[in-house]
Amino acid sequence: MCLAIPGRVTETFAKGGMRMGRVQFGGVTREACLEYVPETQPGDYVLVHVGFAISRVNEEEARRTYQALLELDQLTELDVPEVLEPGASGHGGSA
């Protein structure tokens, strides 16, 4: 539960008073809160834990860590469907 997953930030935006972003992990994208790494820009790689970016990493480290987590079967939290905003339509989850 305490392992964070590296992904690539594809966009950043403000929502609900927070700096947020979309982060791509393998074939899945997820919304992530960027409040704890406020300097993050699109194209950066970040470690994300339960929907929160906690640290920036370089691309090589991101790939390596992702592969290690895949081998450890520690990516299952990404299978949980994304919760949509009330009133939103369509599927904002996996791409």
Nearer to another protein by C-beta: 27 or 86?
86
DSSP-assigned beta bridge partners for residue 85: none
Minimum separation from the CB atom of position 17 to another protein (A):
7
Q: Does 94 bind another protein (CB under 8 A)?
A: no
Binding region for another protein (CB under 8 A) = 1-4, 16-18, 30-31, 33, 35-38, 47, 49-52, 54-55, 57-58, 61, 64-65, 68, 71-74, 76-78, 80-86
